[in-house]
Amino acid sequence: MKKNNFRIYKGKIKKEKFKLTKNNIKRFSIITLDKHPLHTNLAYAKEKGFEDIIVQGLFLSSLAVGQITDKLIGTKTLIIAQDFNYHIPIYVNNEFLISSQIKDINLKFKIALIEVKIIIAKKLHASGNIRVKIQK
């Protein structure tokens, strides 16, 4: 097994910008079987009081997991828990920032707690915590 070469320490942070298109959201809907009209039907979304089609919460948390494994901790990890809250909708073509920070590390059990914030224009749109088992 290849060793994880990422430096892992409390306070480490990674930030990355994303922008999802209607096609991204459509493809995610197909893969996950999430065909809720808020994610697929502009007229329905507007009828319900939203500006546009809404990005799936699961899509946002999946991007955060990808950021954690690709840029923060490394692929030699196992996601053991995650908890997200979605405060303000993120719409198709919104540019948003995902910030992931290691808040705590339990060295005995090799478990890290990562805090995730999803932000647009300094407003918190979603937040959550992801726990990972670090495999070396």
* Pairwise CA distance, residues 113 & 48, whole Å: 36
Main-chain phi, psi angles of 114, to 5 degrees: -115, 130
Q: What are phi and psi of 96, to 5 degrees?
A: -135, 160
The pLDDT tens digits of the residues spanning 8-44 come to 899 999 999 999 999 999 999 999 999 999 999 999 9
* Predicted TM-score (pTM) of this structure: 0.90
CB 134 within 8 A of CB 112: yes
Beta sheet of 77-86, edge-to-edge order: 13-19, 95-106, 111-120, 123-134, 77-86
| Helix (H) or strand (E) segment spanning residue 26 | helix 22-32
Ordered domains of the chain (ranges, CATH): 13-134 (3.10.129.10)
Instruction: Using the structure block, give the residue that is written with the tokens 């459509």.
Output: 26
